[in-house]
Structure 1
Amino acid sequence: METKAVAKYIRISPQKARLVADVVRGKDVETAITTLKFMPKKAARILRKVIESAVANAEQTDTIDVDTLYIKSIEINGGPMLKRYRPRAMGRATRILKRTSHITVVVDEA
């Protein structure tokens, strides 16, 4: 039986978050959390919290053994973008897109 956790509107670009997600996808939960704990990326901290939330959701059901959980899938989709403007030469302006992410983690028993 699988459980999931979702974090929405996280202020990190999906491209940067996917780099970290690719490292832990398919691993068991303990290994993934340990790996993310020592990774020097902003996305690692965010992803670790979402994985821990998915494990906590799994603990709420009595049928799941938490020690045998593994990461079935991690999906990182783009959220809405904050649009800002930066002044450029000769009176022009350039748009800056500050991207957000929606992160979904699904854990399942091995």
Structure 2
Amino acid sequence: MAEAVARVRYIRVSPQKARLVADMVRGKEVEQARAILKITTKKSARIIQKLLHSAIANAEQKKQMDISALYIKEIVVEGGPVLMRYKGRAMGRATPIRRRTSHIRMVLAEK
């Protein structure tokens, strides 16, 4: 069974927030996932929508797969490097701010 893979790395969205959207589309057919992502009002939904579009293009171009029979077999959100920023506080102190990043991998397969 052929599979098409697409990845996006170093996305400026926390893995926790990206997983909320990833859980909504995992296991769904491609057209159903597109519809869900289109109406979802989260930053990570736009990113996953672009990733889905890329995975579909990979399936069509590299694997010659039938797009109407595709579903999201696997979508994995992992944490990337954390960007450390600091916020000035009272009495000359500073507290760290962690800007989290994500790596997302999507695998499409035919039913």
Q: Which TM class, normalised by the smaller chain length?
A: over 0.9
Unmatched tracts of structure 1, length 5 or more? none
How far the C-alpha of 1:90 sits from its partner, in A, is: 2.0
Rounded to whole Å, the distance in 2 between the matches of 1:75 and 1:103 is 6
Q: TM-score, normalised by structure 2?
A: 0.95
Rounded to whole Å, the distance in 1 between the matches of 2:22 and 2:61 is 25
How many aligned positions are there?
Answer: 110
Unmatched tracts of structure 2, length 5 or more? none
Q: Which residue of 1 aligns with 2:76?
A: 75
Q: What is the root-mean-square deviation of aligned Cα atoms in Å?
A: 1.0
Amino acid at match of 2:10: Y
Alignment of 1:28 with 2:29, yes or no, is yes
Q: Which residue of 2 aligns with 1:107?
A: 108
Secondary structure, aligned partner of 2:53: helix
- Could you list the structure 1 runs, at least 4 aligned residues long, displaced by more than 6 angstroms after superposition: none
How far the C-alpha of 1:91 sits from its partner, in A, is: 1.6
Q: Which residue of 1 aligns with 2:13?
A: 12
Rounded to whole Å, the distance in 1 between the matches of 2:102 and 2:50 is 14
Amino acid at match of 2:78: N
How far the C-alpha of 1:46 sits from its partner, in A, is: 0.4
Q: Equivalent pairs: percent with the same residue?
A: 58
Secondary structure, aligned partner of 1:16: helix
Q: TM-score, normalised by structure 1?
A: 0.96
Secondary structure, aligned partner of 2:28: coil
Asked if the contact 2:4–2:63 (Cα under 8 Å) also holds between the matched residues in 1, the reply is: no
Aligned pairs for 1:29-108 (under 5 A) are 29-61=30-62, 63-108=64-109
Rounded to whole Å, the distance in 1 between the matches of 2:64 and 2:57 is 13
How far the C-alpha of 1:82 sits from its partner, in A, is: 1.0
Q: Give CA deviations for 1:28-52 in whole Å, capped at 9, x if unaligned.
A: 0110011101111111000010011
Amino acid at match of 2:46: R
